[in-house]
């Protein structure tokens, strides 16, 4: 008898825990359909950025004002901006077409860093048919006047702002750079987050020596990177009232299984799909099912969190103990 691979994430039932993370792979109906055919459990669409929304709003605003100075009466003709649909049409169209085409949950991604009018686009996501929203918060505190409490409050306020506008679940993709991650996770859940996606992978700039320019550089992840999410998911499992998704570093079925054992409700993949194509989903699903059957796990629900800190025979393995053991036991790689 095969194992039951179903899992629940954000209150949604997924046929398996493999989710396509936001990437170029989820940016067209054709590739989304290929992912579904390969067995994906859900899809997260590429991010719509705060800057894109604000740019379109400003362009619309300027268009409205053009010629308004010619007549005082003309000013009353234009609608108020807050009542005017300035949401990026192509993105909303992608959501609608994805919902019509796919049978798996469709989760658009909203990427920003400041509370403001742009967050109202979340309502349009919901109207377009989104099953949930992933709020991807990317903020680099570079100002000397920035302090940790203000930055944390900005995150909380942003989550509260988006969550209050929609009735569908909101997952929050956050960075690992908080000084008290567990406390921050609880605050985000308290502000309305139905789920946490751990972690946002900050991409660093590079310097081109020949051109003497600063340039963006995208480096795909490796399996070694999954341990950061693994640790924090294991620590948070059972302690925060939110779904937990792992992202960054899952390339093999073994990677997926480790994250599920730690307590992830689903595992998001992007780099491995970009390297190997949509059909890699089938290999991941098959590998997870084969391992579970061999170990006599009846379901993913039975598997999830069985090696979290709460359930682990050695809870200290996820804290300072692990750090000391790793340093004192290292003997060097064989030559």
Residues paired with residue 153 on neighbouring β-strands, in sequence order = none
What's residue 309's pLDDT? 87
Q: Give the H or E element holding residue 107.
A: strand 106-112
CA 93 – CA 210 distance, rounded (Å):
42
In order of start, what are the domains of the chain with their CATH numbers?
Answer: 7-309 (3.20.20.70)
Are 299 and 288 in contact by the 8 Å Cβ rule? The answer is no
DSSP state of 194: S
Share of the chain above pLDDT 90, in %: 67
What average pLDDT does this structure show over 108-129?
90
DSSP 4: B
CA distance 321 to 2: 38
Give helix 226-236 / helix 181-190 axis angle, nearest 10°.
Answer: 70
Cβ of 78: how many Cβ atoms within 10 Å? 14
pLDDT of residue 61: 38
Burial 301-322 (b: 16+ CB within 10 A, else e): eebbbebbbeebeeeeebeeee
Give CA–CA dist 234/85, Å, rounded: 42
Report the percentage of the chain scoring pLDDT > 70. Answer: 82
Global confidence as pTM: 0.84
Q: Looking at residue 283, what is its pLDDT? A: 98
Spatial separation of the C-alpha atoms in residues 139 and 254, rounded to whole Å: 32
């Amino acid at each position: 008898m095969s194992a039951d691979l179903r899992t629940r994430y954000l209150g949604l039932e997924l046929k398996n825990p493999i989710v396509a993370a936001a990437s170029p792979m989820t940016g067209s109906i054709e590739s989304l359909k290929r992912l579904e055919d390969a067995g994906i459990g859900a899809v997260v669409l590429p991010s719509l950025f705060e800057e894109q929304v604000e740019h379109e709003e400003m362009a619309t605003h300027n268009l409205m004002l053009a010629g308004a100075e010619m007549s005082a009466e003309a000013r009353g003709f234009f609608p108020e901006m807050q009542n005017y649909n300035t949401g990026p049409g192509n993105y909303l169209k992608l959501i609608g077409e994805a919902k019509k085409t796919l049978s798996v949950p469709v989760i658009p991604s909203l990427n920003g860093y400041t509370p403001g009018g742009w967050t109202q686009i979340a309502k349009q996501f919901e109207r377009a048919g989104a099953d949930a929203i992933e709020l991807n918060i990317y903020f680099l505190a570079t100002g000397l006047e920035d302090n940790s409490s203000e930055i944390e409050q900005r995150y909380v306020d942003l989550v509260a702002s988006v969550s209050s506008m929609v009735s569908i679940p909101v997952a929050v993709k956050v960075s690992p750079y908080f000084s008290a991650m567990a406390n921050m996770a609880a605050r985000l859940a308290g502000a309305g987050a139905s789920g946490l996606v751990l972690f946002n992978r900050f991409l660093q700039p590079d310097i081109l020596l020949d051109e003497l320019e600063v340039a963006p550089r995208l480096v795909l992840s490796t399996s070694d990177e999954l341990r950061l999410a693994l640790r924090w998911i294991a620590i948070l499992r059972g302690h925060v009232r939110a779904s937990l998704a792992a992202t960054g570093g899952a390339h093999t079925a073994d990677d997926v299984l480790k994250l599920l054992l730690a307590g992830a409700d689903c595992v998001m993949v992007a780099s491995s799909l970009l390297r190997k194509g949509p059909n890699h989903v089938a290999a991941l699903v098959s590998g997870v099912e084969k391992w579970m059957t061999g170990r006599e796990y009846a379901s993913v629900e039975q598997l999830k969190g069985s090696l979290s800190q709460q359930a682990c025979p050695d809870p200290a393995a996820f804290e300072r103990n692990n750090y000391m053991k790793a340093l004192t036991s290292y003997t060097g790689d064989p030559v």
